[in-house]
A and B are shown apart, each in its own frame.
Chain A
Amino acid sequence: MTESNDENLDEPGFTAEAFEAQDAEFQQLGQCLRATGESWENSQDWAQFYPELEERLVATVNALNFDLEHGALQQHFERAVEDREGQWTAFTQRVLDEANRSENLAARQPLSAQAVEELRSDIESTLDDVEPRFENQFFRQLQGQLGPEKTSLWQRMANTISQWIRPPSWAWGSLAVAMMAAFVLVSASQREPLEPVAVTAPNKVQVDSIQFEGTVTLSQSEDLTVIWLADASG
């Protein structure tokens, strides 16, 4: 039987040795009660069974000097409450539960649902950030399509007429091609000889004139002159 002392109360729980000692005492008490019950079963005086049993139990417990007294438990409880002073109260806990209600509910959801909710919140926040930029561009484009200013009726008529008069872009290209073709035809004329080639470099050969029914390519260097004939007839 363990000694009843305050050291046991300071521990978070009773020690294993104390429990084992009390267990032995309880076993003794149980054997005593069993024997009493058996003896009384054999006796015929049932009316005196329970009071006498109670007297026997109290005497046995007092004799055992049982440690689990009410005062000791009370002290133990009070000391535990003092230790937890300010750490937890039911009201505080309720306030925290209410504030974290959505988080607690989300934590209880399955993992897939939690991922979907998190992704949705990210998308919504991103859209909120980008939305003003899109709106600005949209309004800017709309403003551009509307045009800067309104033109008067006379100005619009003048613009329309000028568009009719002004030739299209392809006309200029055709004119350029026609001019080039005329230049080529004139230069390839068989009747008129080419003008003398002005030789400024000290070439050995000077080509004074050429007559040919085709294309002539003249290649000159200091010591060599080559006249290439192309598309010659015959």
Chain B
Amino acid sequence: MIEAFLPVVTVLCLTTAEAQAQPKIKIQVQVIEASTKSKGIDPQLGKLKKAFRGYQGAKLVDQLEAKVQKGSSISLEILRKSRLLSVTFQELKPDGSIQLKVAIEAFKFSAQTTHKKKNATVVVAHETSDSSAIFLAVTPRLE
């Protein structure tokens, strides 16, 4: 009986080993809507206050956190029009810097960023109207 599971266990062990060899990081994606008409900034967005200059109010619309391996990506729908924000974990450098690729296919936008320090956030912003804008905050963390 055990013999049947042995290869499975081996595979699992090997997979686990390979998985342990593959670094994993946690990626946090926050979708924020800012407006000049509303007032007050969500307490969870305190660290990103500087990004909302010109806007009196900002609220957290959606948030996603996931662990990803190198080469893997996570996607999040934004702007209620089936537009996807995808974040790909490209590389973990020896100095601990995390290289990501942030893309929005509908906008034909992509950016490659290197996050050097802990909790280093990159924000992609886009004006949705004269009085509002959407902010996509991507923060990688080492596990």
Contact = CB atoms under 8 A, between A and B. Distances in A.
Interface of A: 190, 203-214, 221, 223-230, 232-234
7 contacts: A204-B115, A205-B113, A205-B120, A211-B108, A211-B111, A224-B48, A234-B83
A233 B123 contact: no
B123 A208 contact: no
Contacts of A221: 50
Contacts of A210: 109-112
Contacts, number: 91
A204 B123 CA distance: 12
Interface size of B as a range: 20 to 34
B68 interface: no
A223 B51 CA distance: 11
B107 A205 contact: no
A234 B117 contact: no
Interface in B103-129: 106-117, 119-127
Tell me what chain B mostly uses at the interface: helix, strand, loop, or mixed. Answer: strand
B109 A204 contact: no
Nearest to A209: B112
Contacts of A230: 126-127
A212 B122 contact: no
A208 B108 contact: no
Contacts of A203: 116
Nearest to B121: A224
Contacts of B112: 207-210
Contacts of A211: 108-111
A207 B111 contact: yes
Contacts of A229: 107, 109, 124-126
